A and B are shown apart, each in its own frame.
Chain A
Amino acid sequence: MTKPEPLPRILNANDLATGDVVYWSGSKWTRHIAEAEMIADNDAADALGKTEMAARRVVDVYPFEVNFENGVPVPARYRERVRSLGPSVRLDLGKQAGE
């Protein structure tokens, strides 16, 4: 059996002050997953997470797997999907509602 190709990964975190879910765009944190940049180098991503946390911008930085659909990253796991959208039981709230 051949190992499946590992999925591309991006970084997310919570904004320290607001708690809002944010993604690394390559140069800054963004609230929009569509602007997230794929991790090219795991060690660099690790180091970036540490620097950003030390700089008191974000907390709980971690990478997660995505599938690119029409050029837009869609989280592979449900957990990050909920984070990128908002509660599935309150479609009027969170990023899915344009907040």
Chain B
Amino acid sequence: MANPSIERRGAEEKLHLANNSYHLRFRSDAKLGWAYVPDDAQMTGGDAITVSLSRFQEALTRNDITHLGVRILPGEDVRLLQPYLARISLVELAFPTFRDGRNYSSARILREQLSYTGEIRAIGQVLADQLFFMVRCGIDALDLDPSVTHAAADAALSRFKYVYQAAGDARRPVWDARLSS
């Protein structure tokens, strides 16, 4: 069966921002001050605007949004974004509770099936002990819960040197590492 080579995304650089935002790699647009437009608010233009999936089409029609982000709630289908990925600079994946794991699948579908290369950010209950899973699925920015220090995030993300599966990040599974060890 096809055994595609695993995409290597280069060395991950970290950029720590204010508001307990934690980035895993340098992005030129990472410093943008993203503004989320709630569903019941008037849509505005701007440099970096995030909207819900239900207002995404509306946002697409505007030409006064420079960088467009979309927020995906658990249960929403990221595959709907496929035709528009070139227009999307940020996908926020919501984890209203850490127990709701649906958006782990969303992250992998975006990275692996849809080849989305923009930022994927976890928002909501983003706790230290879930970060490893999130990043492995291809999430590369974390809006950490206020209780999580960046040091704790560093520790959580560096704990496991080896992983058993290929997923949405660039890490080699151990069966692949074994081939060359």
Do chains A and B make direct contact within the complex (CB under 8 angstroms)? Answer: no
